[in-house]
Amino acid sequence: MLKPLQFGNVTIDFPVVLAPMAGYTDAAFRSICKEQGAGACYTEVTSAEGIRRDSQKTFQFLKVSELDHPIAGHIFGKSVEAMVEAAQYIEKLGCFDWIDLNCGCPVKKVVRRGAGAALMKEPEEIGEIVRAVKKAVSLPVSVKTRIGFSPAFPDHLTIAKIVEDAGADMIAVHGRLACNFHKGDADWEKLGEIKQRLSIPVIGNGGVNTPADAAEMLRVSGVDGVMIGRGAIGNPWLFNQIKNPAQPLPGFGEKREVIETHLLRLVELTSSTAEGRRRKTKFIPEQAACLHFRPHLAQYLKGLRGRRGLLQELNNLKTVEAILTSVDKVLSQNVDATSPSRFSNSN
């Protein structure tokens, strides 16, 4: 049901993509998802004001690897000027395929600034930002938003049409209201209404945790692509499973290998970003990476016997060796006693 998705000069051969998620979609996790079939990726939610103010902490979100492409530089902000300057900076980096504007993040600290989902209260502001950014850069420009802020504000069709009329090349829409965050079912029928109204490509987001979910979203909405966020955390195999539903679930050996690879890449990424820091940090890169890896690890081991005990010790696991030793213990508890499969710490 999925065909290559094209907008501007970007082609996504398999339009099942990884959503931008603060604290999760760094270069390490994106590389894992790309290897497991993700058709494209977005950076983490990146502050336009941070870019504008030369924030080293913000710049670390824009680290890109060769595996990332095609990839969008994903920025948020309220000021037209800041969004334009951030978009121009991203284009000058020369490592992004397109620019994506966040108009749907429901996180309170973002909304309080009048950015993210707050823009949906006054959708004409979204139009102003899109028009200004399109005029300022040559890269394709897309928008990520939701079906609305709350029932009291402009509806999904009004917002989507403003995005298209302002010149956006593509739109990704989460099928929940911002006020609901991730609660309740995503409204895929509204995604279908948006798809019917617009001529630009539409990517659907929200509620996709299994290959069956992706198929149902496509059936109900007819969108051009599927965006996966939380469903990919701890389960990057989901992308390949959507591409090939007959593909078996990962065994413990493969899961262990991906956990190790992900963690080692995160240590490498943390080390590279630490080199440019002006201030000393509390933890050395390996320790910082291990602490940052905790929510990923909790999801990788979801449903396994022994997981709870490991999670209780997570704050004390500050080396790669310690984490992998604990992972091996959990996995071993879930392997049939007669199975020849065992897990050894290779570090």
Among 214, 243, 272, the domain-final residue is 243
Whether residue 340 is contained in a domain is answered as no
* 36 and 185 co-located in one domain: yes
* 233 and 266 co-located in one domain: no
Whether residue 344 is contained in a domain is answered as no
In angstroms, the CA 237 to CA 72 distance is 21
* 271 and 230 co-located in one domain: no
Whether residue 346 is contained in a domain is answered as no
Active site residue 105: yes
Helix (H) or strand (E) holding 5: strand 5-7
Q: Is 278 helix (H, G, I), strand (E, B) or coil?
A: coil
CATH number at residue 276: 1.10.1200
| pLDDT at site 347 | 37
* 176 and 219 co-located in one domain: yes
In angstroms, the CA 147 to CA 145 distance is 7
* 204 and 263 co-located in one domain: no
| pLDDT at site 336 | 60
Using one digit for the tens of pLDDT, what is the confidence trace for 285-324?
999 999 999 999 999 999 999 999 999 998 899 999 999 9
CATH number at residue 219: 3.20.20.70
Lowest mean per-residue pLDDT among 9-23, 42-56, 96-110, 295-309 = 42-56
Among 205, 222, 243, the domain-final residue is 243
Lowest mean per-residue pLDDT among 84-88, 113-117, 150-154, 196-200 = 150-154
Among 216, 243, 270, the domain-final residue is 243
pLDDT surpassing 90 at residue 16: yes
Whether residue 343 is contained in a domain is answered as no
Contacts of 300 (CB under 8 A, 6+ apart): 234, 255, 258, 259
* 219 and 181 co-located in one domain: yes
* 307 and 210 co-located in one domain: no
* 307 and 181 co-located in one domain: no
Provide the domain count of the chain: 2
How long a stretch of residues is the chain? 347
* 229 and 291 co-located in one domain: no
* 222 and 264 co-located in one domain: no
pLDDT surpassing 70 at residue 339: no
| pLDDT at site 60 | 84
State mean pLDDT over 112-137.
97
Q: Which of 33, 103, 105, 290 is catalytic?
A: 105
* 175 and 263 co-located in one domain: no
Residue 246 one-letter amino acid: A
| pLDDT at site 344 | 45
Range of the domain at 29: 5-243
Whether residue 109 is contained in a domain is answered as yes
How does residue 279 score in pLDDT terms, banded at 50, 70 and 90?
A: low
Q: Please answer whether residues 310 and 329 qualify as being in contact, where contact means their C-beta atoms are separated by less than 8 angstroms.
A: yes
Whether residue 60 is contained in a domain is answered as yes
pLDDT surpassing 50 at residue 234: yes
